[in-house]
């Protein structure tokens, strides 16, 4: 792992006795809902819009007076879809509120559960604010442009579309950040977007080139206006604490997986460009990824490579405009494959700042000790308290 490590031992100077939750819907904090919450889970992934699911007790036996019950959430509009929602999770320490805002978004689904036995509950699902920017699919070709220039152009297009339907929601970029990033980028000869939502394309593109797609959402301003700032930057430029998780202490469980069935040592991209009437070809090998912290099973896990470790994958269904573009595409494809050789699922005590992209130092796992990058987290509060489940991939 090439990034600077800022280690943070989970148990040093911290306590986890009083987990807390705050739910804000339509700009109003729902204090009364806290006693009705059965469970809440927030999921953060590196290739999807973040989401939350909240389950509450739905039946109030005396809601309409003594002995006159009602379905207090399914028969009211308190948790109806299309409303803004904020979810805060964390702890109360020494009487201080240390909750973190996990998500700002909108409620998209309401599901009551009427069962013959057990409590009557209602579950609502919310999606992060980026969901509101999936307005329409786009198709576009870019020539001789840098990644960050393309990103800004896409965001400006989406912002214009959004203003037509949601006048009080502004989507912007950080121009200074884009300028710094572009200074270290090369021009792309040709990049195509084919009939897909721009946000989905940016998720895929950022993962392919090892960028982070992140969002900052402002508090509601006078008149109900919000500003959403979208960030697009190299993942190694984002500095976060590296959590130290040790089996038997701060690491509740961990299940690593060393998988080789889909691994290849080489990717070749070949394309016959009909317009130019030329053949383009590019090749990438594992040696091209050594500087990126990709795990080498033979060296890093001290295992003997089998005969299938020298396989080659040939890609022929992608259109490229040059040998250099073919080589870059081959490298991106090989990177995605190689990153999955060692991965794992784990659970630790609830850590609201443990999010996708966070670095981990894992200890007490034998040869699976080492550095990991988190790809997905699920933060849950329920009968068992507050826990964080995660999936992560191993890196040097």
Enumerate the domain spans of the chain.
Answer: 7-131+240-255+342-395, 134-237, 260-338
Q: Does pLDDT of 185 surpass 90? A: yes
Q: By the 8 A CB rule, do 242 and 4 touch?
A: no
pTM reported for the whole predicted model:
0.86
| pLDDT number for residue 16 | 59
Please write the tens of the pLDDT for every residue from 86-140.
999 999 877 788 899 999 999 999 999 998 877 899 999 999 999 999 988 999 9
Please write the tens of the pLDDT for every residue from 325-343.
899 889 988 988 888 889 9
Q: By the 8 A CB rule, do 345 and 254 touch?
A: yes
Beta strand 266-273 with 312-315: parallel, antiparallel or unpaired?
parallel
- In the structure encoding, which two tokens stand for residue 240, read together? 């976060």
Please write the tens of the pLDDT for every residue from 284-298.
998 888 778 788 776
Fold of the CATH domain 7-131+240-255+342-395: Phage tail proteins - horseshoe like beta roll fold (2.30.300)
Please write the tens of the pLDDT for every residue from 39-78.
999 999 988 999 999 999 999 988 777 777 899 999 999 9
- In the structure encoding, which two tokens stand for residue 372, read together? 């990991």
Please write the tens of the pLDDT for every residue from 212-237.
999 999 888 877 889 999 999 998 88
Q: By the 8 A CB rule, do 204 and 197 touch?
A: no
Most confident of 51-60, 254-263, 308-317: 51-60
HEC string for 98-133: CCEEEEEEEEEEEEEECCCCCCCEEEEEEEEHHHHH
CATH class for the region spanning 134-237: alpha beta
Structure letter (DSSP) for residue 36: G
d(CA 295, CA 300): 6
For the chain, percent of residues with pLDDT exceeding 70: 95
Q: Does pLDDT of 1 surpass 60? A: no
Q: By the 8 A CB rule, do 27 and 219 touch?
A: no
């Amino acid at each position: 792992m090439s990034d600077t490590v800022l280690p943070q031992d989970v148990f040093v100077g911290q306590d986890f006795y009083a987990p807390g939750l705050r739910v804000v819907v339509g700009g109003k904090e729902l204090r009364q809902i806290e006693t009705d919450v059965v469970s809440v889970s927030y999921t953060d992934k590196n290739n999807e819009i973040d989401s939350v699911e909240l389950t509450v007790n739905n039946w109030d036996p005396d809601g309409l007076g003594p002995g006159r019950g009602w379905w207090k959430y399914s028969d009211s509009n308190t948790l109806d879809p299309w409303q803004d929602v904020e979810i805060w999770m964390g702890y109360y320490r020494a009487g201080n509120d240390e909750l973190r805002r996990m998500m700002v978004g909108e409620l998209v689904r309401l599901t009551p559960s009427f069962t013959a036995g057990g409590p009557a509950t209602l579950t609502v699902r919310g999606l992060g604010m980026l969901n509101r920017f999936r307005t329409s699919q786009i198709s576009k070709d870019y020539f001789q442009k840098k990644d960050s220039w393309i990103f800004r152009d896409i965001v400006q297009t989406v912002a214009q579309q959004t203003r037509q339907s949601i006048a009080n929601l502004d989507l912007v970029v950080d121009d200074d950040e884009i300028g710094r990033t572009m200074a270290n980028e090369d021009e792309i000869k040709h990049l195509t977007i084919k009939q897909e939502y721009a946000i989905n394309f940016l998720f895929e593109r950022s993962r392919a080139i090892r960028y982070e797609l992140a969002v900052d959402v402002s508090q509601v301003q006078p008149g109900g206006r919000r500003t959403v700032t979208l960030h697009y930057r190299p993942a190694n430029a984002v500095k976060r604490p590296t959590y130290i998780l040790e089996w038997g202490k701060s690491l509740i469980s961990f299940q690593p997986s060393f998988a080789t069935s889909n691994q290849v040592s080489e990717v070749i991209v070949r394309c016959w460009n009909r317009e130019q009437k030329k053949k383009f070809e590019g090749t990438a090998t594992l040696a091209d990824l050594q500087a990126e912290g990709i795990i080498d099973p033979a060296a890093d896990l001290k295992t003997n490579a089998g005969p299938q470790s020298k396989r080659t994958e040939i890609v022929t269904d992608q259109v490229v405009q040059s040998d250099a573009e073919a080589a870059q595409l081959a490298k991106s494809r090989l990177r995605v494959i190689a990153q999955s050789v060692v991965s794992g699922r784990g659970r630790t005590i609830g850590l609201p700042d443990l999010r996708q992209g966070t670095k981990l130092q894992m200890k007490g796992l034998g040869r699976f000790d080492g550095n990991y990058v988190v790809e997905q987290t699920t933060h849950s509060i329920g009968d068992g308290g507050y826990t964080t489940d995660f999936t992560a991939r191993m890196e040097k």
